[in-house]
Structure 1
């Protein structure tokens, strides 16, 4: 929309038009000048300006303004406050104003306040509504897209709890959802499936409970060969419904999820669906390893300029493949570059990163996968999860379908000529290509299925090296892990590169199959195991600066480090919540807290910590709660005495087995939630203690503290040795 014509009188002719942003942020540009947050003389003046912008003709009565801004005050005091707010608003917009009556921006006419309509040159809210209504009238995808580009977030997010903003925000949120759904429908009509899915994703980002969008997105993803992503959509949707609304998805949504998990949703017909069924009788294929290595490939990444023959797996959009390097992970990136260069010489590898929740494992995997993709590798990405135990070969099936479903018809036909038809048992979505072979349990003929899968990967890696990314490897079912080890030792797959992440304690508590994989290192193959640590203080300062746009003050940085212990996710979530709740302010180009910290943690942060704890077994969770009541630092002997207290009949309700105390403590330390020094243990970061204690009922805290007090007295009175001998007898 064009800036309104300025027809100003006399001394108003030099006033600059205003450009206002209210969607996703509040920002005012006055000509070429940005009015900074600290330049607003008062918060109420700022609120008055926002309210005026939402009213017809930018005017409001004095009475309504006072009722909205000071509902708790009597009329006289509220009117006085309004006069002060009007004065502050004028001074903000016109610092050199001498007389109020000469204000070019804010006029007072009797009982009304009005912004000069001609000087409000552009407001993103008004432009959004104008474009949206035009798009509705013309059913224009271009106009919908222009309107969507303006909607950078919710209406005035800093005023979420202001009564005067609620109704407008809800109305806009509804319009935004309707706009996205109409855009999705138009993309669907044009066959633009990825854009259709993106619109549905954005609906769920705005309204997590919009079940229709979740259902359509799951259906579309599964029909396009992206079954893992479809299942992830359901899990996130169901989790949010349960945690926030205490509800379950509708039966139709649950049924679709079960169909997707079981592989009953066929991949939508594409070019690859038009090929003729592959004959069952074909020459047996035994590729020689040397034949699979293109000797013309360069030996280093610097000289590697590959022109891909077919598309690889697309890394999630939030990962910028050409963006800035990861902060604080130079050693990991150097290791990965060496692995890629080694793979180009025909030598594969298994690289595993271990790290606590929130340390950045998934983000690191996505970024390293992006670097591999830019270097010309095709990247296959699998997220493992506990539900896959019911479908032991599901991760492998996902991996193969991911690669094959993105191939053209000729490529797919050529590929399937050289593989055993038993591969159909791993590919329920492509079973129609193998008449005579029924999809079923691969365990009925595992040797043939393993060999068939290896043949597919051999063919795929002839012209383009493969990187397989496995997030949360500890959840991969045993049969899939066996196939992974089979691939790692297969002579035709020497150049295959695996990049995986596991959670802390996975090695100590590993299943036999996972333990064998973690110990793998045969032949000329290469394995690297790397433990990711939390960020140092200077690294934490860098990621906070990137998040907030300005650096944190030394005091704020120290506070964040003390609370989170350097865990990057927790640190970023903490400062983001403080900023959203208007608890931070810019002073001397640095962010600092407006007030001292009141020891209250954001709910999103405590919820994340609870999910971290929930991944442990019940005994480990009890042990952590007891340790939290003991304090940030505690000794093993305190815990042992608490367990022994059960002999007196008073501590029976503490569900800890003294014979498993050492094992449970090992699991907890392996999770990186607590750390061990020479004579004692301490929590990795204080917010763990606060979250654990907050999760206990009042009666639990009283009873458990009684037991802890008893144990401390026994230690102080020197009765520990007698108790130990008594326990041994």
Structure 2
């Protein structure tokens, strides 16, 4: 009789269960006749696809269907999943799980309760599980248990952080439109604070605070990208959302001031500074930092007027209020180049075109943006010799 090829069996099945099966085969012959019905449960069935949402209230989706509260045997089983997923990058010790969930029980009862909850959780995640301990997601590893996505689980926190990192990379490269796309996708994933219905669980507090801080930074950076592209109302809308969550965030107040200033609303910019100062005094008992004060002084002393107004131009106050439209291709590119200049990378730009198409207005807007961001702008003009 020809010897079976164990390597071929494991390659075809390509699952952890297949490798465990291979360990039970003796070299030279099969231990009895192997049939498909005798394979471990993890091989017989298809592992379900899970979606776990931790931002806001917990949501568990299995094969695109949201599990209702009735799917959970009890609250402890649900809490156990939250714990294991929170610490999914490591093994969570048995004693740690007991301390978090069954600290009031005696050691024997606590371990038994943990064992029952683990079994129930595995059934919630994989209803067709047929072999005890053969879960694809809840693994038994000394000294406790570990959650494994098994390539079949997506977690909103991971997707959120991935989009944030993508936005940061695009922003650093000056690709502001791409950064906005990534940041907006990340913001859409943030349905609320991490496990917001568990405000007093000590193990949930550190990730909640980190993710909230990341979200606030995201809103600040998203507003900054809109501001750099001249989308002042979008920048203001996003900045206000951040201030609703954290009224004392000075970096966001500065964006609000600058957006109003760039939109020609100097009075609103100055009023934003006063609101910032009041919030800091009321909540923290401090004054604005030097950077905020310097921006206030610059806005106060430098009303936003065109750097160079030709004789036929409208009065500065009126020209300031006219909307700046069009230039959907040129304006983002100029803003990206300005960003590079602010980072110390000199640039030279030549703008050409027929008379009357808006070259001067385009340069005025760019110069005003540079002034608002603290740059020194020098202007000059020349005339064709008659």
**Shared fold, TM over 0.5:** yes
Distance 1:275 1:168 in 2: 59
Deviation at 1:231, TM superposition (A): 6.5
Aligned residue for 1:205?
A: 244
Q: Distance in 1 between matches of 2:147 and 2:264?
A: 55
Query: What does 1:285-684 correspond to in 2, within 5 Å?
Result: 405-407=321-323
CA contact (8 A) 1:197 1:217 kept: yes
Asked if the contact 1:272/1:408 (under 8 Å) is kept, the reply is no
Match of 1:157 among 192, 196, 199: 196
Quick check: 1:17 aligned with 2:49? yes
Alignment match, 2:67: 35
Match of 2:357 in 1: none
**Contact 2:77/2:121 (CA < 8 Å) preserved in 1?**
yes
Give TM-score scaled by structure 2 length: 0.58
Paired position in structure 2 for 1:51: 83
Note the residue ranges of structure 2 that are not aligned, 5 or more in a row: 1-13, 18-39, 326-386
Equivalence map 1:232-311=2 (5 Å): 233=272, 237=276, 241=280, 245-250=283-288, 266-267=303-304, 269=306, 276=313
Q: How far is the alpha carbon of 1:29 from its aligned partner?
A: 0.8
- Counterpart CA distance in 2 for 1:150 and 1:405 is 36
> What residue is the counterpart of 2:333 in the other structure?
none
Return 5+ residue gaps in structure 1 as ranges: 1-5, 280-400, 410-729
**Secondary structure in structure 2 of the residue aligned to 1:209:** coil
Shift of 1:408: 6.9
Q: Report the 3-state secondary structure (helix = DSSP H, G, I; strand = E; otherwise coil) of the residue aligned with 2:120.
A: helix
Cα 1:258–1:109 change in 2 (3 A) is closer
The two structures have a TM-score, normalised by structure 1, of: 0.33
2:8 maps to none
- Whether contact under 8 Å (2:56, 2:193) holds in the other structure is yes
Kept after mapping to 1: 8 A contact 2:50/2:61: yes
Check 1:75–1:248 CA distance in 2 against 1; reply closer, same or farther (3 A cut).
same
Counterpart pick for 1:194 among 226, 233, 240: 233
Q: 2:149 aligned to 102, 105, 117, which one?
A: 117
Q: Of the candidates 263, 272, 278, which is equivalent to residue 224 of structure 1?
A: 263
- 1:241/1:249 contact within 8 Å kept: yes
The structure-2 alpha-carbon separation of the partners of 1:207 and 1:272, relative to structure 1 and needing over 3 Å to count, comes to farther
Secondary structure of 2:303's match?
A: coil
- In the other structure, the counterpart of 2:110 is 78
Aligned residue for 2:161, secondary structure, equals helix
Query: Offset of 1:111 from its aligned partner?
Result: 3.1
CA shift at 1:86, angstroms? 1.8
Structure 2 vs 1, CA of residues 265 and 93 (structure 1 numbering), >3 Å: closer, same or farther? same
More moved, 22-31 vs 234-243: 234-243
Deviation at 1:196, TM superposition (A): 3.4
2:213 matched to which residue of 1? 174
Q: Which residue of 2 aligns with 1:484?
A: none
CA gap 1:269/1:31 in 2 versus in 1, 3 angstroms = farther
Q: Structure 1 residues 271, 217: closer, same or farther in 2, change over 3 A?
A: farther
Q: Higher relative contact order at CA 8 Å, sep ≥6: structure 1 or structure 2?
A: 2
Is 2:128 the partner of 1:89? no
| Residues 273 and 69 (structure 1), Cα distance of their counterparts in 2 relative to 1, 3 Å cut | farther
Distance in 1 of aligned mates of 2:67 and 2:305 = 53
